[in-house]
């Protein structure tokens, strides 16, 4: 199931609940699949159960990205690590966890009940100040500070796309076919004493793929540029009723209307809602509050999935 071509990104919701789980609604988690890599975003209680229901696998999770340290976003980590450890993972297959400052201490505390694992764990902390330039198999990851009652991170993923290779131009320049693949990858070549750069045989720039994820935050102006033109934005939308505006402000969350407005201002191509309040058993009841702003908004459900493809 993990042998997807590099030009594809698969994304699935594992849990769409906030604070407390409900029957049929797991806590916050998203799974991303690209080029044989599985990346988990947040790990609320019960994530391992939802992962099994989805069926994309567990053993190949190489990275876990945490937004913040509230229990509904990280309390599922010990059980997940134990399950991955029982999947046949070995000492040669490390798992990297990325998150806010203090991550190592939190992971160490959670691992009191999962002390022995057959694979190593590496923790990388973000201090909220330095620029993050991290890549997983060509997938670039960047972060932005969110606005919650504890240090919280938003994530953006970008998969660049090289310009189209022009074989006719390569033939006209007399470039042997054996060099074409190198040029296609954006690397220069040297033959017959001449250096040929990729731009000599590549067409105009082409848009890549992008995905954004933010949960447990008030809307911020910085999000408009940070998530600008993403192919998919998954955002928290804790409160459906516009009358809960003050509650959203007090608890540092968003209403449906606020989340939809953020999607519009970021020019997101697709917008999915997640992290619904346990007091909102039927989010669809308040759909109009979002659709009046972002008509094609999607209210997230467990195991809803999408494949993002390079545009032709």
Helix (H), strand (E) at residue 126: strand 121-126
Residue 239: enclosing H or E segment and its boundaries? none
- 3-class DSSP state for residue 121? strand
Which pair of structure tokens corresponds to residue 251? 């608890």
214: β partners: 235
Catalytic, out of 72, 127, 199, 284 = 72
Residue 306 has φ and ψ, to the nearest 5°, of -150, 150
Residue list, annotated binding site: 68, 70, 72-73, 148, 216, 275
Would you call 14 helix, strand, or coil by DSSP?
strand
Closest CA to 132 of 99, 87, 170, 86: 99
Radius of gyration of the CA atoms of the chain, in A: 21
Which segments are annotated as binding site for Zn(2+)? 68, 70, 72-73, 148, 216, 275
Our answer to whether residue 72 is catalytic in this structure is yes
Catalytic sites, residue numbers: 72
């Amino acid at each position: 199931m993990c042998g997807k071509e590099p030009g594809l990104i698969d994304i699935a919701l594992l849990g769409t609940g906030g604070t407390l789980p409900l029957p049929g609604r797991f806590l916050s988690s998203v799974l991303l699949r690209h080029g044989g890599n599985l990346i988990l975003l947040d790990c609320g209680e019960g994530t391992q159960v939802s992962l099994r229901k989805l069926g994309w696998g567990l053993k190949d999770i190489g990275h876990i990205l945490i937004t913040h340290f509230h229990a509904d976003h990280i309390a599922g980590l010990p059980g997940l690590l134990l399950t991955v450890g029982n999947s046949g993972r070995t000492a040669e297959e490390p798992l990297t966890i990325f998150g806010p400052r203090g991550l190592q201490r939190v992971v160490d505390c959670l691992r009191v009940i999962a002390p022995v694992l057959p694979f190593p764990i590496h923790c990388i902390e973000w201090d909220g100040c330095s620029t993050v330039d991290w890549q997983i198999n060509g997938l670039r990851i960047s972060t932005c500070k969110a606005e919650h009652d504890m240090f919280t991170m938003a994530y953006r993923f970008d998969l660049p796309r090289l310009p189209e290779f022009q074989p006719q131009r390569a033939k006209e320049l007399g470039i042997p076919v054996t060099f074409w693949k190198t040029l296609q990858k954006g690397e220069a070549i040297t033959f017959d004493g001449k250096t040929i750069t990729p731009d000599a045989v590549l067409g105009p720039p082409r848009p890549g793929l992008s995905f954004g994820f933010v949960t447990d935050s008030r809307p911020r102006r910085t999000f408009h540029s940070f998530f600008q033109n993403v192919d998919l934005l998954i955002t928290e939308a804790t409160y459906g009723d516009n009358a809960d505006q003050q509650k959203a402000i007090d608890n540092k969350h968003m209403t449906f209307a606020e989340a939809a407005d953020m999607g519009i201002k970021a020019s997101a191509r697709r917008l999915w809602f997640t992290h619904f309040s346990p007091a909102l058993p039927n989010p669809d009841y308040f759909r109009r509050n979002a659709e009046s702003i972002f008509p094609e908004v999607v209210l997230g459900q467990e195991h809803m999935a999408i494949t993002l493809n390079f545009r032709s």
